[in-house]
Structure 1
Amino acid sequence: MTLQMDLPTADDYPTRKAPEPCLLYRRDPVVWPGAENGTFGADELSDYERRGYTQARSLVTADEAETYRSELRRLGEDRALREDERVVVEPTSDEVRSVFEVHKISQVFSDLVNDPRLVDRARRILGSDVYVHQSRINYKPGFGGGSFYWHSDFETWHAEDGMPRMRAVSFSVALTDNYSHNGALMIMPGSHKTFVSCVGETPENHYRASLKSQHVGTPDQESLSLLAERHGIDVLTGSAGDVTVFDSNCMHGSGGNITPFPRSNVFIVFNSVENACTKPFSAYTARPDFLGASDTTPVGR
């Protein structure tokens, strides 16, 4: 028997509802009006608008990056923390894959999510005060770091968290050097202006499986091929301390790491306080707070 989901009535980005995938035009700004400039150069903001991402080189100092790496190691080695649902291990090993809600677990990362170097940039892009929708650290150790298949974060946040608009931005703070061969982030530049509507009904408690290996909510190969042919693929290499800022709807992913060189990052999602999540658009219940925060208290104030 099919249950009737209690969903919002207005949905500009329907997904997981039709038997066939489709491509939809973006109906939201990329850079929202309402905030003064001063954190981005004109070229940086123009790049972000056009490509859906920009990179701030050496935004975090070498000493700060080492502090974050030390905290990452501490959290990864905390055996008691392994019992916490916020810690996700690789599907084929006991290696830590991700730790979520790190700004509530660690004072070090709490300070980072309130850092004006990040928060002011998020405000400039989103045109308002911002809160943390999600934070996590991603481990990708040498000889074993798993892949993250192509996806748009907004598709999941919209379908399963109830995020109404494309008014969120992600910050990836590199804690290690990113090479083309150690599982670096890949983005299809310009893909943020097209929404890929996916197929497949959201299973109950889908997040438990999807955090290790996602299948529902991933784009079909035909749509991916079309976007790749239209936009190409950028491999985002750089040094520890670089910060990649990218739109919530960018099509992105990363390969596994079979090299000896680890690739780890801190990942922070800022959402506009004017874009608070409602009921999920394509799921029966919302994901837990550590994946999609219900607390919209502004950060950096």
Structure 2
Amino acid sequence: MKLTPEQLAEFAEQGYIFLPEAFTPEEVEVLRREAEQIYRSDRPEVWREKSGAPRTAFAAHTYNEAFRILGAHPRLIEPVEQFFGEKLYMHQYKINAKAAFDGEVWQWHQDYGTWARDDGMPEPRAMNISVFIDEVMPINGPLMLIPRSHTQGTLPAGHDKQTTSYPLWTLDHDSVAKLVEEGGIVAPTGKPGSVLMFHGNLVHGSAGNITPYPRKIVYLTLCAVSNHIRKPTRPEWIAHQDFTPIETVADDALTAYARSGRLAAE
């Protein structure tokens, strides 16, 4: 999948683009089913909220075939290769849960702030590209973005280890208020299978989910190989140290996997 010149220009200006329903219901269903199975497992890669509800599952591409395929899918890899002009490696991979009723906040932050401070990533030549596994609605804790905030560079941040179960380099209220005054806030919503791609310095966060509707999103953090991390401080399954360039799978690989599973069950 290639981005159009108009999409590339929109990304450069706004810091994100949204691609509705880039994956089919059949492809999404196998991911949803296997994500729920992963959340039920007792793995160190699965982090939980204080309530015990799943918060995120790291490195699923290393122990689950469906998510391995997704992590090398051309609909996700090719647009980012196009943007950076070189091959990519997987810096981080996670399935964020935002569980029904119990999903907690993700404070306002920039992803590159963490990648630079905790992992020694030289430049913001990495970004998140996400796939909606559930429908993301205005009411179930959608990701909120501050358009054009990526143009401000890497902002000062404090290391918040208390608010949630996941430590995060967060922005203070005054900084967020100033950015919002200039750029506003958007919250992309859409059907399962939609894709959101955003700059590593785009400021974003999400509120808690007190609805009965879960909101699972897969995030691939794709980094230019030449920009690999230099001073990792986090476990390898959080900040990967295998800088092998990603080779894409066939475009129908996820569909083939989903159908092979159904045939085996029959």
Q: Same fold (TM over 0.5)?
A: yes
Q: Distance in 2 between matches of 1:178 and 1:250?
A: 19
Residue in 2 aligned with 1:214?
167
CA distance in 1, matches of 2:208, 2:191: 19
User: Which whole-Å CA distance do the structure 1 matches of 2:228 and 2:173 have between them?
Assistant: 31
Tell me which of 184, 191, 195 is aligned to 1:239: 191
| CA shift digits 1:108-161 (9 cap, x unpaired) | 100111111111111011110001000010111211111101100000000000
- Does the C-alpha gap of structure 1 residues 176 and 162 become closer, same or farther in structure 2, counting only changes over 3 Å? same
Structure 2 partner of 1:17: none
| Partner in structure 1 of residue 70 of structure 2 | 112
Are residues 1:89 and 2:48 paired?
yes
Whether contact under 8 Å (1:196, 1:219) holds in the other structure is no
Q: How far, CA to CA, are the matches of 1:123 and 1:199 in structure 2?
A: 29
TM-align CA RMSD: 1.8
Task: Give deviations 1:58-99, integer Å, cap 9, x for gaps.
Answer: 111110000100001111122xxx2x32110002x1111100
The 3 A distance-change label for structure 1 pair 238 and 67 is same
The CA deviation at 1:213 is 4.2
- The answer as to whether partners of 2:112 and 2:154 remain within 8 angstroms in 1 is no
Q: 2:120 aligns with which of 162, 182, 186?
A: 162
Rounded Cα–Cα distance in structure 1 between residues aligned with 2:89 and 2:164: 22
2: distance between equivalents of 1:108 and 1:213?
A: 25
**Matches of residues 117-136 of structure 1 in structure 2 within 5 Å?**
117-136=75-94
Who is 1:270 aligned against?
A: 222
What CA deviation, in whole Å up to 9, does each residue of 1:204-245 have, x standing for no partner? xx7xx7872436x21111111110101100011111010001
Task: Please say if residues 54 and 99 of structure 2, whose CA atoms lie closer than 8 Å, have aligned partners that are also in contact.
Answer: no
Q: CA deviation at 1:300?
A: 2.0
Aligned partner of 2:210 in structure 1 is 258
**How big is each residue's C-alpha offset from its partner over 1:30-83, in whole Å with a ceiling of 9 and x where there is no partner?**
xxxxxxxx70122211111111100111111110000100001111122xxx2x
For 1:234, what is the secondary structure of its paired residue?
Answer: coil
Q: Distance in 1 between matches of 2:129 and 2:163?
A: 21
Q: Distance in 1 between matches of 2:38 and 2:204?
A: 26
Please tell me whether the aligned partners of residues 132 and 193 of structure 2 are also in contact (alpha carbons under 8 angstroms). yes
- TM value normalised by structure 2: 0.88
Give 2:260's aligned residue: none
Aligned to 2:32: 69
Q: Give distance in 2, aligned partners of 1:184 and 1:273.
A: 30
Mark the CA change 1:125 to 1:211 in structure 2 (over 3 Å): closer, same or farther: farther
Question: Does the 8 A contact of 1:88 with 1:211 survive in 2?
Answer: no
The 1:267–1:211 alpha-carbon spacing in structure 2 relative to 1, beyond 3 Å, is farther
Matched residue of 1:197: which SS? coil
Structure 2 counterpart of 1:188: 146
SS of the equivalent of 1:274 reads helix
Measure, in 1, the Cα distance between the counterparts of 2:165 and 2:202. Answer: 20
Query: Which letter does structure 1 place at the counterpart of 2:13?
Result: R
Percent of aligned positions that are identical: 33
| 1:258 counterpart letter in structure 2 | I
Higher helix share: 2
Q: Which runs of 5+ in 1 are unaligned?
A: 1-37, 281-285
Report the counterpart of residue 107 of structure 2 in structure 1. 149
Is the counterpart of residue 139 in structure 1 residue 97 in structure 2?
Answer: yes
Deviation above 6 Å: which 4+ runs of structure 1?
A: none
Q: Distance in 1 between matches of 2:93 and 2:185?
A: 25
Q: CA separation of 1:245/1:252 partners in 2, compared to 1, >3 Å: closer, same or farther?
A: same
Q: Give 1:228's aligned residue.
A: 180
Q: Which amino acid aligns with 2:241?
A: S
Shift in alpha-carbon separation, 1:122–1:258, aligned structure 2, 3 A: same
Using the TM superposition, give the Cα deviation of residue 163 of structure 1 relative to its aligned residue in structure 2, in angstroms. Answer: 0.5
1:276-299 Cα distance to aligned partner (Å, 9 max, x none): 11126xxxxx11111111110011
Matched with 1:47 is 10
